[in-house]
Amino acid sequence: KAGVTQTPRYLIKTRGQQVTLSCSPISGHRSVSWYQQTPGQGLQFLFEYFSETQRNKGNFPGRFSGRQFSNSRSEMNVSTLELGDSALYLCASSSGTGIHTEAFFGQGTRLTVV
């Protein structure tokens, strides 16, 4: 079974630009969650999508948005990039059914804002 695939692996953007990150979950998984990982703040939950609907949301500004397609693939968009958005963005997939299911993480997209 293929794991969670995130593309691209690395990205360099300029302040003010926008960026789109992609995540392909494990086949059959319907839930995709996004996390931001930084040395200072650690792993912070951004949002979760299940069956094309946002089911959970963390405490990030509206510049951070996401969507999920009918094949469960998900994209995350960050608009008007700031230097502080530089981070490793991780996507996790799970079956999404039941209250607790194991989350499988991708290798992440390393975003650098200059």
- Which residues of the shown chain bind other proteins in the complex (CB under 8 A)? 4, 31, 33, 35, 42-45, 48, 55-56, 58, 90, 92, 94, 96, 99-108
In terms of Cβ atoms closer than 10 Å to its own Cβ (0-12, 13-18, 19+), residue 46 is buried
Rounded to a whole number of angstroms, the minimum distance from the CB of residue 16 to other proteins is 29
Rounded to a whole number of angstroms, the minimum distance from the CB of residue 43 to other proteins is 4
Cis peptide bond prior to 39, omega within 30° of 0? no
Rounded to a whole number of angstroms, the minimum distance from the CB of residue 3 to other proteins is 9
Task: Using the minimum distance from each CB to other proteins, give the nearer residue, 73 or 79.
Answer: 73
Task: Using the minimum distance from each CB to other proteins, give the nearer residue, 1 or 100.
Answer: 100
The CA–CA distances, whole Å, from 66 to 1, 40, 53, 61, 78 equal 25, 24, 10, 12, 9
Task: Using the minimum distance from each CB to other proteins, give the nearer residue, 10 or 114.
Answer: 10
